Amino acid sequence: MFKKILFATTASPSCDHAARVAFDMAKRYGSELTVFHVLGIPSRGFSQFVKDVRTGETVSYNDDYLEWVKEEIKNTYAKQLKMHENCTIEALTGIPHTEILRAARKEDADLIVMGSTTREENEGTYTYRNIAGSTLQTVTKAARCPVLVIGRPAASFWGGFSDIVFGTDFSRAADSAFMFAYKVAKTLGCKLHLFHACDISGVHAGKLLEQYEIEDNLRIAREKIRKMYVPRMKGFDDYEIDVWEGIPYVEIVKYTRERSADLIVMAHHTREPSPEKALLGSTLEQVVLRATCPVASVNRPDKVIDL
């Protein structure tokens, strides 16, 4: 299923939950795992100094330093590495999102696993190019393969995936997310929850929807799910359809909790790369920060077709 997993990590505590899921998955599904770390940002033109992503200090980059960092990663994940040996450690310098995307492309990864760092926690996160946006934003938007993001302790990830929530906004990108959710559910024998949240968050702006409008929207969305997705699940009947109303990210997280689901699959295709604006705009980002299970972002069909 996931032949090659790229685990992109800062190797700091903010990635611990992601590490647990990445190693656990690689072991369970027999995947090749690459632990990938961008250790420093070359911020001084052509100079040989880099800014260490963990400490924020300026260090002089050379082979010895690189080896030392790799050794540190080995120590950090010593326990996990003992359990799963089919694993390589790679470290290099560069702009994190660029190098993660470059590595995923080069290695033809089937899945990228990442932690999500919160914005309050400035240590270890580094918005490099003021206008381009954060690592998570850029990787989830541009990756050709699914990106699995673990924001909080993945409470239910003990026995592999069993319940998958596919949150749709009916976009073209969501189509790829659906294919991924469906194929994973089918292959791993999970129950698939097809879910849409009708956005009534306009209430804060004084825009009150009539109850019949809400109910109409719910009905329309349910119908849409039936038309768009159900015919494509030939011979697979372990699914349910639900449409709730509210603020989409809250509803997705609530619904997932209620169904004790252990994976959320969504598309992330916001066109707004500005971190300040995207913070409010991206449902996916909010879900990632709040959900207690891994969240897979899938925008493109490339890696989903062959699953």
Total binding residues toward other proteins, as defined by CB under 8 A: 31
Task: State which of positions 283-302 bind other proteins (CB under 8 A).
Answer: 300
- In the complex, minimum distance from the CB of residue 93 to other proteins, in angstroms, rounded to a whole number: 9
Q: Which of 1, 65, 222, 250 binds other proteins (CB under 8 A)?
A: 65
Q: Which is nearer to other proteins, 67 or 238 (CB)?
A: 67
What does the DSSP assignment read for 139-179?
HHHH-SS-EEEE-S--TTTTSS--EEEEE----HHHHHHHH
Contacts 24+ apart (CB under 8 A), 130-136: 131/273, 131/274, 132/97, 132/273, 133/273, 133/274, 133/275, 133/278, 134/97, 134/275, 135/96, 135/97, 135/100, 136/285, 136/288
Query: Does residue 124 belong to the site contacting other proteins (CB under 8 A)?
Result: no
Residue 271: DSSP 8-state: S
Q: Which of 3, 13, 44, 155 binds other proteins (CB under 8 A)?
A: 44
Q: Is the dihedral of CA 11, 4, 110, 148 positive or negative?
A: negative
Q: Which is nearer to other proteins, 63 or 85 (CB)?
A: 63
Count other Cβ atoms within 10 Å, centred on residue 173.
Answer: 20
Element (H, E) at 104: helix 96-107
Task: State which of positions 73-112 bind other proteins (CB under 8 A).
Answer: 94-95, 98, 101-102, 105
Element (H, E) at 193: strand 191-199
- In the complex, minimum distance from the CB of residue 172 to other proteins, in angstroms, rounded to a whole number: 4
Name which of 293, 276, 297, 294 is nearest 134 in CA terms.
Answer: 276
Q: Which is nearer to other proteins, 98 or 201 (CB)?
A: 98
Query: Does residue 55 belong to the site contacting other proteins (CB under 8 A)?
Result: no
Q: Which is nearer to other proteins, 72 or 272 (CB)?
A: 272
Q: Which is nearer to other proteins, 129 or 226 (CB)?
A: 129
CA atoms within 13 A on the CB side of 13: 3
Q: Which of 132, 209, 247, 279 binds other proteins (CB under 8 A)?
A: 132
Query: Does residue 57 belong to the site contacting other proteins (CB under 8 A)?
Result: no
The piece of 2-10, 68-76, 128-136, 187-195 that touches other proteins (CB under 8 A) is 128-136
Element (H, E) at 257: helix 248-258
280 φ, ψ (degrees, to nearest 5): -90, -30
Task: State which of positions 214-273 bind other proteins (CB under 8 A).
Answer: 271
Task: State which of positions 153-212 bind other proteins (CB under 8 A).
Answer: 170-173
Q: Which residues bind other proteins (CB under 8 A)?
A: 42-49, 60, 62-65, 94-95, 98, 101-102, 105, 129-132, 142, 144, 170-173, 271, 300
